[in-house]
Amino acid sequence: MIEFAHAYKVYPGTSAPIHALKDVNLRIEKGEFVYLTGPSGAGKTTLFRLLSAYDRATSGNVRVSGYELSKITKREVQLFRRHLGVVYQDFRLLKRRTVYENVSLPLEIRSERQRYIKERTEEVLDQVDLLHKKSEFPSQLSGGEQQRVAIARALIHHPDVLLADEPTGNLDPELSREIIAIFEKINAQGTTVFVATHDFELIKNRARRTVEIQNGVIVRSE
C-alpha cells in the first residue's frame, strides 16, 4: 500500500545541501493505522509531500497504491490522487463557499453527475456528523468543525489512503481527541490512515503503530 525503499530527499541550501530524508525504508500495509511522530523539522512534512506526489525523492523509490511515484507522469498524478485523501493543519477551506460546496468541489471539478455529487457529499458529511451544517460557511464553524469539513472533503473520492499532516495542531485537547476518533472510525471501514503529529500526549495511550523520524532518519517503527 505504502512503501519507501532507500528514499532520500535533498534540497539545495545556501551553503550546503539540506538532507531532509536519509535512506528511509518503510512499509505500511493496506488497512493499517499509523502515526508518524517527531519534532518540528524532523522530516514529517517532506515525507508526506513525497507520498502525495507534490515532490519527488532525490533517489530511491516511493510506492503508493500501486503507483511508482518517482516515475509518475503528470496525467497519472491526477488519477493517483483519486486514491489519496489529504488533511492539513490549516483546513484550507474556501471561505466564500458553504460546507456542502467545499466538500463537493472535487466532484464538481470532475464533472460528476449532480445526483451522485449530492448523494456522496451528504454521505461524507453525515460520516463526520456535519450534515446539519451543510449550508453554513467556514466562518460560522468552530475549529473542530472546520477540520471535520476538511476530512469530509478528503474522503469524497473513496480514497485508499488518508494522510493527515498535523491535523490537530490548531485544536485544543478535547477537539483533538474527537478528530482522532473520526480517523479511527474511517480506518475501521478499511481506509489506510497515516497521521503525522508531534503531540505525544494525544497518541501515547492508543494501541497503534508509531513511526518516529528524527533529522530525516526513521529511528523507530513499532
Instruction: List the grid coordinates of 114.
Output: 449532480
Which residue segment(s) compose the domain that 209 sits in? Answer: 29-59+81-221
Q: Scanning the structure block, which residue is given the C-alpha cell 493517483?
A: 80
pLDDT above 80: residue 167: yes
Instruction: List the grid coordinates of 44.
Output: 514529517
* Strand-pair partners of 18: 11
pLDDT above 80: residue 205: no
**Number of domains composing the chain:** 1
Q: Give domain status of residue 18, yes or no.
A: no
* Strand-pair partners of 4: 26, 62
Q: Give domain status of residue 111, yes or no.
A: yes
pLDDT at residue 210 in the model:
94
C-alpha to C-alpha distance for 117 and 103, rounded to whole angstroms: 10
Classify residue 133 by its DSSP letter. Answer: G
What is the reported pTM?
Answer: 0.93
Q: Give domain status of residue 73, yes or no.
A: no
Instruction: List the grid coordinates of 113.
Output: 453527475
C-alpha to C-alpha distance for 48 and 28, rounded to whole angstroms: 13
**pLDDT bracket for residue 169 (50, 70, 90):** confident
pLDDT at residue 196 in the model:
94
CATH number, residue 102:
3.40.50.300
Q: Give domain status of residue 196, yes or no.
A: yes
pLDDT at residue 213 in the model:
96
Q: Give domain status of residue 89, yes or no.
A: yes
Instruction: List the grid coordinates of 53.
Output: 506526489
pLDDT at residue 198 in the model:
85
